[in-house]
Structure 1
């Protein structure tokens, strides 16, 4: 790629990287102690006589850490998303458009969990590039689908707040199903573009994101399927946050002029609005916290090309785990964050255990001691 316009910024960035990372000289090539490097001859190249190629192995410390961290994370992702889907399926009160989106999000995050199993089994050491790109394709498709469904949920919340009277007419079941199918098709199509030919020319038996997909594909992927949904969520949740603040200020002004007997009810409304404002902050904060490091580091690696080998290793291991953790946080925030769903979730998943039933009966007897004695 031609980075002429960004050449000064690129040189300054590489200069700081050179200062921060320990290096040594090997055949007049600067190599990082985090990775090994080698000369790769480029035949009939117009721009280069040779280039620096970052290589890694499945036995690196980063891969070992990834394997250790993925085991409990994968179990948590699969367990909680299966439970969420089960609760939505068996309880008819959750058979509405909002929880259809929650179920779609749970299914996408469940796919991320299954992809994690594939990563654990293969240890990123597929024998051929095609097998590698199959796993990478499923990984990209699952993560992109999760992000796009998050955007659909944000749009649903926006319509519910600002178009509340027309919500039923706008958010119809057929439209929600169409939106879910559309984002799934987009995710699969974009995720498997490398398998259909948009790939690197060499493969060193190490199957990691930045090692097997070209820079121009990453730019298209991030700009179309990552930055657009994140920007949309930022705008939508920003407006919802601002609307919640205005609502709180109005209630506070009403409390100062209304009668004392109305203050308790108004305070409950104010507390509920403040809680929704806090939830919105947590929702978008988790998206940024889990995915922005992956995006920023990937872009930095593209700008610096192969002069910063250790960034490739970090993106495919530590930052990938951080991104996967979003699939565990999503059901916690969107599903278990609602009191009604949380109570149904606990009753559905744990209600058949005797110890849970005894604890529930004890709590009820403590709340209604007179009624308990009467029954006894």
Structure 2
């Protein structure tokens, strides 16, 4: 591919990435606004996990925006003729190893927090169905706060681990090197860390839903046998309906992130395969797209969130309409006063 043509391709890809990051931020902000209204009205602690997921996804979007900013800075530098175009999409030219490690940390940490937030959401639904009588006691304010604090401690540890442990850093990184995952971080070390987080979480997801499926089938048989005499029927099926949204969320998460981590595992087992470019430029982006899917799932499938978003749009629409009517009325009064000052004064007061 010729240099100008390659440059145009990278520029258009960066624009697409910028649009995706803005969509991630805007959709998750909308879900955050809806969740704040729900939590203020209902006071349910379980919504805190969903709120944390949306906030983590917003940070992912901001991290992508930072990457795109660096890409465009390199684009301007190339146009000025300072350096040649040598980097593919999503690679950033960095002059400091510390800056590159921080950039990777701000990408890895919110991505890890997003994954662990879905784990807490699934755990919350699992406890609601497995232990319905103790659910309110087990999901108190301090329990939720402790879980979220632990989540962010783990996420920040995973994200900043390469910067704190020199054993995970590339020894031959130069000040003029391109800032990528595997240019500043030892591939095998960080891949092992990634897999140590992902595959146990995925295994627990699988256990949760297999156990819940068994419980739901047994409960359905009891309902058919006892009819309406079971007092927990409506509450139970309310939890099951909420679980459907979580199941869709986890399914999308698996489809988006599983290819990345499976190829990571293949790379660890087959060092001669050289799959780093595929991981950095393709599968990583597929995983990050999950941050855009999450708010869309809640906006479309979770009835309470969907209704709250509709109410927010109606509120904004009414305010815009009232403002337009007020401005039109003021303009009409101004014109009337200028034309007929004596007769229009009483109408505009």
Same fold (TM over 0.5): yes
Q: Name the CA distance, whole Å, in 1 between partners of 2:125 and 2:311.
A: 27
The CA deviation at 1:80 is 1.2
SS in 1 for 2:301: coil
Q: Which structure 2 residues correspond to residues 222-233 of structure 1 after superposition, within 5 A?
A: 222-233=194-205
Q: Please say if 1:98 is aligned against 2:46.
A: yes
Q: Name the CA distance, whole Å, in 1 between partners of 2:239 and 2:220.
A: 7
Q: 1:140 aligns with which of 108, 113, 127?
A: 108
Q: 1:205 aligns with which of 174, 177, 180?
A: 177
Answer yes or no: is the 8 Å Cα contact 2:125–2:239 preserved in 1: no
Q: Name the CA distance, whole Å, in 1 between partners of 2:48 and 2:269.
A: 40
Aligned to 1:67: 14
Aligned to 1:27: none
Q: Name the CA distance, whole Å, in 2 between partners of 1:117 and 1:339.
A: 31
Q: Please say if 1:289 is aligned against 2:255.
A: yes
Q: Name the CA distance, whole Å, in 1 between partners of 2:119 and 2:205.
A: 6
Q: Which structure 2 residues correspond to residues 127-276 of structure 1 after superposition, within 5 A?
A: 127-196=95-164, 197=166, 198-203=168-173, 205-248=177-220, 253=224
Q: How many residues in Structure 1 have an aligned counterpart in Structure 2?
A: 289
Q: Name the CA distance, whole Å, in 2 between partners of 1:180 and 1:319.
A: 28
SS in 1 for 2:162: coil
The CA deviation at 1:132 is 1.3
User: How big is each residue's C-alpha offset from its partner over 1:121-160, in whole Å with a ceiling of 9 and x where there is no partner?
Assistant: 1123222222111111111111111111111111111111
Q: Name the CA distance, whole Å, in 1 between partners of 2:35 and 2:123.
A: 21
Q: Name the CA distance, whole Å, in 2 between partners of 1:138 and 1:344.
A: 31
Answer yes or no: is the 8 Å Cα contact 2:129–2:239 preserved in 1: no
The CA deviation at 1:269 is 10
Q: Is there any run of 5+ residues in structure 1 with no aligned partner, and where?
A: 1-32, 34-58, 263-267, 359-376
Answer yes or no: is the 8 Å Cα contact 1:101–1:152 preserved in 2: yes
Aligned to 2:297: 333
Answer yes or no: is the 8 Å Cα contact 2:162–2:185 preserved in 1: yes
Answer yes or no: is the 8 Å Cα contact 1:234–1:284 preserved in 2: no
Q: Name the CA distance, whole Å, in 2 between partners of 1:165 and 1:344.
A: 28
The CA deviation at 1:320 is 1.4
Answer yes or no: is the 8 Å Cα contact 1:241–1:280 preserved in 2: no
Q: Name the CA distance, whole Å, in 2 between partners of 1:327 and 1:177.
A: 23
Q: Name the CA distance, whole Å, in 2 between partners of 1:64 and 1:295.
A: 28
Q: Name the CA distance, whole Å, in 1 between partners of 2:216 and 2:19.
A: 37
The two structures have a TM-score, normalised by structure 1, of 0.68
User: How big is each residue's C-alpha offset from its partner over 1:265-302, in whole Å with a ceiling of 9 and x where there is no partner?
Assistant: xxx99997885665454222111101011111122223
* More displaced stretch, 330-339 vs 269-278: 269-278
Aligned to 2:266: 300
The CA deviation at 1:117 is 0.5
Structure number having the greater helix percentage: 2
Q: Name the CA distance, whole Å, in 2 between partners of 1:239 and 1:60.
A: 52
The CA deviation at 1:120 is 0.7
Q: Name the CA distance, whole Å, in 1 between partners of 2:239 and 2:218.
A: 10
SS in 2 for 1:164: coil
The CA deviation at 1:356 is 9.9
Q: Name the CA distance, whole Å, in 2 between partners of 1:208 and 1:73.
A: 20
Q: 1:200 to 1:60 in 2, by over 3 A?
A: farther
Q: Name the CA distance, whole Å, in 1 between partners of 2:11 and 2:307.
A: 39
The CA deviation at 1:335 is 5.5
Q: RMSD of aligned C-alpha atoms? A: 3.2
